[in-house]
Amino acid sequence: MVERVVAVVGATGAVGREMLRTLEKRRFPLSRLVALASPRSAGVELPFAGGKVQVQALGPGSFRGVDVALFSAGAGPSREWAPVAAAAGAVVIDNSSAWRMDDQVPLVVPEVNPGAAANRPRGIIANPNCSTIQLVVALQPLHAAAHIEHIVVSTYQATSGKGHAAVEELHAQLRQLAAGESPTPSVFPGQIALNVISDWKPGRDGYSEEELKMVNETRKILGDASIGVTPTCVRVPVETGHSESVHVRFREPMSAARAKELLRSAPGVELREGDYAPGGEPQPLQAAGRDAVFVGRVRDDLCVPNAINLWVVADNLLKGAALNAVQIAEIL
């Protein structure tokens, strides 16, 4: 197996650190790891493969000799530096929103559309939004069998999706409430502890940017612009693990029994079966630190023909970000 030089841009962030752990855990064949971040993080040492790797400041010469560059530094740095990395000969796998809807950049989930990674005119492959990834992993085998007509999805997204500072704010607010104090939000637009809020930027037509990402990305990954997607995204006081309640209507016959049959052998999916029981559904606490997309509560809709409802949970830092990016690197 050919070993590669791999760079991780944004290595000190929550997803960047998870990328390092995932590369190590999956024994990605690399000859050298380059950890990159902003100048203020230069010199920081991060654990990797039983030793430490020193973070270097991101700059024009950072990508000499690099074969694969995993980016998790935000849309701004990605727009600036991803073309630089690609021009230097690296294949860029970008975790930000910067390139996802670019016609010359494939948007890839390896369990769903791995072949798309081969056509990358810009030398860049985009990692989808975390909530989209787990949705399409669960729905791809069903779509292939019966052609999805309409998806109604409500997300319950963990605070770690907003970064490490958001998780710290959740913990701080919980401590403040326990002490009888009023929380003072700074990362979130309001109190997140013991609460549910929508904290994404406005999009259009009353939808948030996050919700519109789910619409556009789902259609691009599944390769069908005719699929209807109606999303509602909220943030919940959970540290790690996104959950989704999903209603799916199909153009061809589909039942819960058939869906379970398809999901049992679907790549990347762990199906939770059995009759309904309190606490028996997949939960974010159980999904944290695990690679699979967990699907449960698969049931026929009570009113709509050829429609089912299901519950989907995954670790947003792993399959929703770092793991998906490393899996893309593995299939190149």
What's the pLDDT tens digit per position in 58-117? 999 999 999 999 999 999 999 999 999 999 999 999 999 999 999 999 999 999 999 999
Q: Which residue of the set 130, 143, 171, 233 is catalytic?
A: 130
Contact yes or no for 326/23 (Cβ under 8 A): yes
Residues in contact with 277: Cβ distance below 8 Å, sequence separation at least 6, in sequence order: none
The yes-or-no answer on residue 242 being catalytic is: yes
143 is catalytic: no
Contact 113, 223 (CB under 8 A): yes
* Tally of CA atoms within 13 A in the half-sphere of 289 that contains its CB: 2
For 238-274, give one letter per residue: b (16+ CB within 10 A) or e: bebbbbbebbbbbeeebbbebbbebbeebebbbbbee
Bridge partners, 47 (sequence order):
52
**142-190 pLDDT per residue, tens:** 999 999 999 999 999 999 999 989 999 999 999 999 999 999 999 999 9
Of the listed 143, 171, 242, 303, which one is catalytic?
242
> Domain 132-316 is classified in which CATH homologous superfamily?
Dihydrodipicolinate Reductase; domain 2 (3.30.360.10)
Distance in angstroms (rounded) separating the CA atoms of residues 259 and 244: 17
CATH class of 4-127+321-331: alpha beta
Residue 328 dihedral angles phi and psi, to the nearest 5°: -60, -45
Model pLDDT for residues 269-298, shown as the tens digit of each residue: 999 999 999 999 999 999 999 999 999 999
In the block, which residue shows the tokens 């380059």? 34
Q: Where do the CATH 3.30.360.10 domains begin and end in the chain? A: 132-316
Give the residue range(s) of CATH 3.40.50.720 domains in the chain: 4-127+321-331
Q: Is 215 helix (H, G, I), strand (E, B) or coil?
A: helix
Q: What is the pLDDT of residues 204-259, one digit of tens each?
A: 999 999 999 999 999 999 999 999 999 999 999 999 999 999 999 999 999 999 99
pLDDT confidence of residue 67: 97
Q: Is the pLDDT of residue 1 over 70?
A: no
- Reported pTM: 0.95
